[in-house]
A and B are shown apart, each in its own frame.
Chain A
């Protein structure tokens, strides 16, 4: 007989994780597609520490077990609209009521729909582990230590992250940056219940006719989300016009053919999406318009 656990707080959860052999379970929508009979689960949804949404001066802070539906219905924090657009396109209501942002990240699927947005917005993840007290210190029973790292470092490959077995993802931090144009696109076989063939997030800021920020992120066309700071910088500096930028992405992207789509289709769609987005960005920059998209 195996035990599963529903700890009451984060410290308890981390201690159980450190003791070994439990699988963190948030919404279960990835785990339960291939359940293991003998699994020992560490249920996370009841942990108060992981279910909050808040904002500091610099960041939006989203707890790892916040569901898509929570993100879409909460009114406390004015979250980036482009993130909510991605949440709306995940699966269908029953899955959005269960699936969490932390699960989407830890699952590290190249087709995770929120990932291009989180990459484009320079999100970071906070991880927690339990530090046992040193034997000399009798009056404490240990403490929680945290590390913060950029999402693009955390995700390392298809279903691979650098989370240590005794760590939990606690929060996702998104810098509060003002963009003048953002876009999210998901291309899939149907509107609902479909895994992306391609997903794309673009975010740009222009000030006084000058492009000051640019992020272009592509999902489902590589082992992880693709974002290239060299190309972005070249566009920002005016070294690349739209045609040169599209050509650079044509050389960069290495989509594959699988059961959902073909390499050629994915490539064409990505290049069209980036061309359209850059065209809109440059038009906006030129007109000096300060349309606020957030």
Chain B
């Protein structure tokens, strides 16, 4: 049985590196990422699972890190925007989001980019409906969603073969 607390720590893989969080197991992963590991690319918009700004990938799946107790992810692999930006796929998304003017204030962007990664991994050539579904857990208050949908479509075209 694995017992955990602030002393035992909680081991997991963060952006490819093994780490150990010394936060209480019930702490939101969002807070662990931002306050303990100083990875502030993951944003906090609501702490209720509504906005998607805190999205990360765990074992490749899109999840809202505000709704995850860090103790529940022991031994699992977390990918944040800081880790993802080292990838070739990120470069394609970065350019597509910029070219389609899908970024304004940028607060939703890390979550949108990771939601796009999750979507393209499942559907490399998504339909308009699949794009809307894939981004439906992420709110943007600036750009309007059309630009975002266009960015995803553009990325899917330019990145053919990458996903």
Chain A residues, Cβ within 8 Å of B92: none
CA A97 – CA B6 in complex, angstroms? 27
Q: Which listed segment binds B: A38-46, A209-217, A222-230, A271-279?
A: A38-46
B30-67 near A? 1/0 per residue, CB < 8 Å: 00000000000000000111101001000001111011
- Closest chain-A Cβ to B69's Cβ sits at a distance in Å of 6
- Closest chain-A Cβ to B109's Cβ sits at a distance in Å of 16
Chain A residues, Cβ within 8 Å of B25: 3-4, 41
Given known contacts A41-B71, A92-B136, A92-B137, is B66 in contact with A97 (CB within 8 Å)?
Answer: no
A1-45 near B? 1/0 per residue, CB < 8 Å: 111111110001000100000000100110111011111110101
Q: Does A94 contact B (CB under 8 A)?
A: yes
Contact B64 A95 (CB under 8 A): yes
Contact B137 A193 (CB under 8 A): yes
- Closest chain-B Cβ to A107's Cβ sits at a distance in Å of 13
Give the contacts of B98-146 with A (CB-CB under 8 A): 115, 118, 133-134, 136-138
Contact A28 B136 (CB under 8 A): no
Given known contacts A25-B72, A41-B26, is B55 in contact with A94 (CB within 8 Å)?
Answer: yes
Chain B residues, Cβ within 8 Å of A132: none
Q: How large is the interface on B (under 10, 10 to 19, 20 to 34, 35 or more residues)?
A: 35 or more
Contact A33 B49 (CB under 8 A): yes
- Closest chain-A Cβ to B116's Cβ sits at a distance in Å of 11
CA A8 – CA B33 in complex, angstroms? 26
CA A25 – CA B1 in complex, angstroms? 16
Q: Does A98 contact B (CB under 8 A)?
A: yes
Contact A3 B3 (CB under 8 A): yes
Chain B residues, Cβ within 8 Å of A91: 49, 137
Q: Does A69 contact B (CB under 8 A)?
A: yes
Contact B26 A3 (CB under 8 A): no
Q: Nearest 9 A-B pairs (CB), nearest first? A: A92-B137, A192-B136, A4-B25, A32-B67, A6-B2, A92-B136, A94-B137, A4-B71, A94-B64
A contacts, CB < 8 Å to B: 1-8, 12, 16, 25, 28-29, 31-33, 35-41, 43, 45, 69, 91-95, 97-98, 191-193
7 inter-chain pairs at a CB distance below 8 angstroms, sorted by A residue, are A5-B3, A8-B2, A33-B47, A33-B67, A93-B136, A95-B49, A193-B136
Given contacts A3-B25, A28-B72, 15 further A-B contacts (CB under 8 A): A4-B4, A4-B69, A5-B1, A6-B71, A7-B2, A12-B1, A32-B66, A38-B26, A45-B72, A93-B133, A94-B137, A95-B137, A98-B63, A192-B137, A193-B137
